[in-house]
Amino acid sequence: MAGAGLSTPSGIPDFRSPKSGLYDNLQQYNIPYPEAIFELSYFFQNPKPFFTLAKELYPGNYRPNYTHYFLRLLLDKGLLLRVYTQNIDGLERVAGIPADKLVEAHGTFASATCTVCRRSYPGEDFRADVMADKIPQCPVCTGIIKPDIVFFGEELPHRFFLHVTDFPTADLLFVIGTSLEVWATMNMGRE
């Protein structure tokens, strides 16, 4: 199980660390509260802040660190059953963890879906728009194309539930860079 702390040595901030965390440094996006940047209702009102942040976090801007390669070493030695990651940075993929060994619990930039017609797109199809500070639009219906990142208010990916049998069969579980806790007050008072 991996969380944001896995990628902080790669230069990606975690979410809640005082002063250095992502939520403490979102003033530049002119959002009403930090979590709004990952809320569906706010995204549909104003997708620009999310795509501005996505440009910074987009895979390819950062490199895996030793811990990502440790997971790859476990794979190479035949000792890795699966990596469950809360990260959306894609660094596990870059380190060489294949898709069948990876469960991206909070989604991925590797694929995207039109918010209107629900067509699926490879992540690279809209990367150029994000890098050019444009909001990606579906070429079929002109709806907004949203990376398959799990926002507040969305279900976890189906793949997350496909492999729950991994846990009782594992000999050892590494928990790296996450407390495995959800901040209970995050959505209090907000829909």
Distance CA 65, CA 96 (A): 12
- Give SS3 for 39: strand
Reference 95, options 106, 117, 80, 107; nearest CA is 80
Q: Which residues are designated catalytic?
A: 106
User: Cα angle vertex 14, ends 45, 36, to 5°?
Assistant: 15
Please return the burial class of 18, using the count of CB atoms within 10 Å of its CB with bins 0-12, 13-18 and 19+.
exposed
Helix axes 48-57, 124-131, angle to 10 degrees: 110
Reference 88, options 101, 73, 105; nearest CA is 105
DSSP one-letter code for 15: S
Dihedral of the alpha carbons of 46, 189, 105, 91, in degrees to the nearest 10: 60
Measured in degrees and rounded to the nearest 5, phi and psi for residue 122 equal -65, 145
Q: Which amino acid, 63?
A: R
